[in-house]
Structure 1
Amino acid sequence: MKKPLIIALDFAGKDEVNRFLTHFENEKLFLKVGMELFFQEGPSIVYELKEKGHEIFLDLKLHDIPNTVKSAMKGLAGLGCDMVNVHAAGGKAMMEAALEGLEAGRGSGKRPFCIAVTQLTSTSEQQMNSEQLIPVTLNESVLHYASLAKEAGLDGVVCSSLEAREISARLGESFLTVTPGIRLLTDDAGDQKRVATPKFARAEGASAIVVGRSITKSENPFEKYIQCKQSWEGVLNEA
C-alpha cells in the first residue's frame, strides 16, 4: 500500500458527503467511512463512493465473539472496500475469524487490508489505567495489541504516530501503521489526546495518516487537503 492520506468522512449523511466532495472535482481520494455515516446510509454509501473512483477504509471497529465477527466480515467483504478493521481487544481468535470471513466473502475480488485498533487516540494513559484497568504504560498496551494482531495474521494496526516507529521496528515495515489524530500546528486538537502533525507522522514512519476535522471543517477543504498532503509527502516543509 502506498502511503495515503485518508480523509475521515465524519458526516451524518450522504448529502453532507456530496457537498464536501464538490470541493475536490475529479480528485481520486482515500476516504474513511465510519460508524456515524455507515449506520445512517448503510452499504449504499460505500458503493456510491467506489463508483466515483475513491478508495475506502470502512472503519467499524468490529468487536464481538469470533463467529459473529466472521459472519459480519463475510458480508462486508463484498462491498469492495480497500481496508476494514476490528478492535484488537476482541482477541487473537476473533481477529483470525475476521480474516476467515473476509476470505470467504471476497469471491474473486481482492481481500481488503484488515487492521486492528489498538488504543484510541482519544485515550490517555490515565484513562486506560483507571477505566480499562490495564496496569501498564499506554505504549506497552499498544505494542502488545499490535503483536497480537500480527500473530493473528492481520495486515497492521490503527495507532497514534507516537507508536508507529517502535511497531515497525518490532513487527516489520510491511506491517501497516495507520495513524489518526493528525492535525496541523494551527488546528485545535478537539477530543484527541495523542495528536501529531503530518510531518511528524512521516518522520516516525507511519504507513498512512487519517485526517478528519482539519480538512472537513475547513473553509477551504481542498486547500487544507493539499497542505496536509504536501506536508505528509515531504513536499511542504511545515511542522
Structure 2
Amino acid sequence: MPVSADARDRVIVALDCSRSEALRLGRELAGTVGWVKVGMTLFYACGPDIVDYLRGLGFKVFLDLKLFDIPHQVRGAARSAVSCGADMLSIHGLGGAAMVAAAREGASSVGRTSSCDIVAITVLTSMDQACADSVGLAGPVDREVARLASLACANGADGIVCSPNEASAMRALLGPAARIVCPGVRPAGSDLGDQSRVATPAEAIARGASRIVVGRPITGADDPVAAARAVVDEVAAALD
C-alpha cells in the first residue's frame, strides 16, 4: 500500500557522511523520504553544490549549519544559505534576539518562489541535565528549551529544533503553525549513539513533531531504503 506524501514529508534523513556516501544514499533514497539533512560534515566538504545536487534528486534540504555569530555575519550567512537552495536552515537560539532577527532578514532578502524556514536550536539532543549544568545553562533542560523557543519565535524564527522529550510542551507553547524539528529519533532497538534525549518515530510524531531527523539507523543500515521505509511507515501509522 503506498505511503502518503505527508508521511514522507515528515522524515529527514541526516547525511552526516562523506561526499561519495551522500551521493550514493541520495540516489538510493530518492522517492522514499521527502527531506535530507546536510550538516557541517557534508557542507564543509562539498559546499553549496551538494544542496543543488540533492534538490535535483527531488529532496527538500535541511541545511543544518547551526549559525551562531554576530548579527551581521548571520544575516549574510542566511542570505547565502537560502541562495544556494536550502529549504530549512538552523541557527542557535543562544545567539539572542538580534541574531535571530538578522537571520530572518537575510533569508527573506532572497527573491525565491519558495521560502526557507528558519529553525532555532534550543538544547542539543546530545546534552543531558548534567551536561547542561556543566556549561551553566540555568535550571532544568526543558525550561531552557522553552525559554529559547519563545525568544526565537518572537523574533522571526519559524520554529525550533528540540528533542522529542520537549516536543509536546513546545507544541502547546508555540501553537500549531510552528515548525518543531526533532533529532534524537531512534527506531525501537536502535543504538543511541551519542544521543541522550531520544524517542521512537511514532512517539516523536505523537508528541507534536513537525518533522523528525533520523541518521545512522538509516544511513548505517545494511539496506538503507528498507530502513527508511520502515521509519516512514511508522510515521504514517502515527499520523493515522
TM-score normalized with structure 2 length: 0.92
Any idea what SS the aligned residue of 2:136 has?
coil
Contact 2:14 2:213 in 1 (8 A): yes
Offset of 1:168 from its aligned partner?
1.0
Report the counterpart of residue 234 of structure 2 in structure 1: 231
Structure 2 counterpart of 1:93, from 87, 95, 98? 98
Partner Cα distance (1:32, 1:220) in 2:
19
Report the counterpart of residue 128 of structure 1 in structure 2: 132
Offset of 1:17 from its aligned partner?
1.3
Partner Cα distance (2:82, 2:202) in 1:
33
The answer to which of 226-235 and 179-188 deviates more is 226-235
Offset of 1:4 from its aligned partner?
1.2
The correspondence of residues 50-69 of structure 1 with structure 2, limited to 5 A, is 50-69=55-74
Partner Cα distance (1:89, 1:170) in 2:
18
Q: Is 1:7 the equivalent of 2:13? A: yes
Partner Cα distance (2:29, 2:185) in 1:
20
Aligned partner letter, 2:137 = I
Q: Which runs of 5+ in 2 are unaligned?
A: 1-6
Offset of 1:134 from its aligned partner?
1.7
Contact 1:3 1:207 in 2 (8 A): no
Report the counterpart of residue 205 of structure 1 in structure 2: 208
Contact 1:73 1:101 in 2 (8 A): yes
Q: Is 1:19 the equivalent of 2:45? A: no
Q: Is 1:154 the equivalent of 2:157? A: yes
Partner Cα distance (1:8, 1:88) in 2:
21
Q: Which runs of 5+ in 1 are unaligned?
A: none
Q: Is 1:196 the equivalent of 2:205? A: no
Closer/same/farther in 2, CA of residues 27 and 189 from structure 1, 3 Å limit: closer
Partner Cα distance (2:116, 2:30) in 1:
26
Contact 1:73 1:102 in 2 (8 A): yes
Contact 1:182 1:209 in 2 (8 A): yes
The correspondence of residues 34-45 of structure 1 with structure 2, limited to 5 A, is 34-45=39-50
The correspondence of residues 77-116 of structure 1 with structure 2, limited to 5 A, is 77-104=82-109, 106-116=110-120
Closer/same/farther in 2, CA of residues 93 and 43 from structure 1, 3 Å limit: same
Partner Cα distance (1:206, 1:83) in 2:
15
Contact 2:30 2:57 in 1 (8 A): no
1:160-189 Cα offsets, whole Å, 9 max, x none, are: 111111111111011111000111111100
Offset of 1:2 from its aligned partner?
8.6
Any idea what SS the aligned residue of 1:183 has?
coil
Closer/same/farther in 2, CA of residues 136 and 109 from structure 1, 3 Å limit: same
TM-score normalized with structure 1 length: 0.93
Partner Cα distance (2:31, 2:211) in 1:
22
Offset of 1:111 from its aligned partner?
2.3
Partner Cα distance (1:236, 1:71) in 2:
38
Structure 2 counterpart of 1:174, from 173, 177, 180? 177
Report the counterpart of residue 217 of structure 1 in structure 2: 220
**Identical-pair percentage:** 39
